[in-house]
Amino acid sequence: MSKAGYSSEIRSTQADPRGIQVASPELRDWIIAQAESGCQPADVLAAMLATGWHENVAIRAMEDTLSAHLANKARMAELREGSAVPVPLLAEHPSHLNGGDRQVQVLMQMDAPRVVVLGGFLSHEECDELVALAAKRLTRSETVVNETGGSEVNHARTSDGMFFSRGEFELCTRIERRIATLLNWPVENGEGLQVLRYLPGAEYQAHHDYFDPLQPGASTILARGGQRVGTLVMYLNTPEKGGGTTFPDVGLEVGPIKGNAVFFSYDRPDAATLTLHAGAPVIAGEKWVATKWLRQGEFN
Ligand SMILES: O=C(O)CCC(=O)C(=O)O
Ligand SMILES: [Fe+2]
């Protein structure tokens, strides 16, 4: 496309009180329009300089405007098309799924949200071993007490947790392979296993597992492996009362039974996936889970 045309909009600079040039919304719209019509960045820059922009301000305005625009476009495309997600092979309604080294029961499935409840995903020995390995490394989540400025444990707000790195122990490798086989998703696209312990009263309030692309830190998080597109929560023990995984959008509660797991996927970072979920408060006993989050791309 031709050189960026002269436009009166791009003169409409707003000066802040210190007299520094500031990009106006009209200028940002103009920069986007030029980029969309195929103009080369150098031509856009030249047109801005010709209307009195300082070079460093013009470059900054272009960079900021175009990166925000591209992020927004990517988000819109993702919302429109949806991403590929991990998929257990359930078309023929099998009673069991192949986890490679273990056959896993299919206890329940639903389409919207996409949820599959799996029986016997882990053996009881594997659950106990994971708990023992994780217990040494739990860190207590603390919250600030506003009155004192100090911090204290707040069971109503969160659990204690830790992360294994991928392949850290043979047990991790075995479980990661099983997940990859059963969900048809590469091991490399998985985060390390996270283990959480909930004491009586502890809960994980309703949340989505995908990252909000509009949050300031999103681009840094997404640069490593892209979005989360699936979650597997494995129950490492059976609390006496409470501690189910709930999906408030659809009134579903999955009972936390040792060795079982709940899988759910979300093809876009949007509440329309109905994957809002929570770890309900533990009423009696403790609750231990291992969570595996699956990313779009390689998580390294
Ligand atoms: O503890 C649960 O049941 C849910 C855990 C969870 O939502 C998570 O780890 O992201
Ligand atoms: Fe979650």
Q: Using N-to-C axis directions, what is the helix angle for 25-36 and 41-50, rounded to 10°?
A: 140
Q: Atom 9 of ligand 1 has which residue's CA nearest to it?
A: 291
The per-residue pLDDT string of the chain (300 residues; one tens digit each, 9 = 90 and over) reads 445 555 555 654 555 556 567 778 888 889 888 988 988 889 989 998 998 888 888 898 899 888 888 877 776 776 678 999 999 999 999 999 999 999 999 999 999 999 999 999 999 999 999 999 999 999 875 443 434 544 555 554 568 999 999 999 999 999 999 999 999 999 999 999 999 999 999 999 999 999 998 888 888 899 999 999 999 999 999 999 999 999 999 999 999 999 999 999 999 999 999 999 999 999 999 999 999 999 999 999
Distances (CA, A) of 294 to 31, 45, 130, 214, 274: 37, 41, 19, 20, 18
What contacts 298, CB < 8 A, 6 or more positions away? 186, 188, 189, 225
ipTM: 0.99
Is the CB–ligand 1 distance for residue 288 below 6 Å?
A: no
Distance 274 CA to ligand 1 centre (A): 15
Cβ neighbourhood burial of 192 (10 Å; 0-12, 13-18, 19+) = middle
In this structure, how many other beta carbons lie within 10 angstroms of the beta carbon of residue 136? Answer: 7
Distance 230 CA to ligand 2 centre (A): 10
Q: Atom 10 of ligand 1 has which residue's CA nearest to it?
A: 209
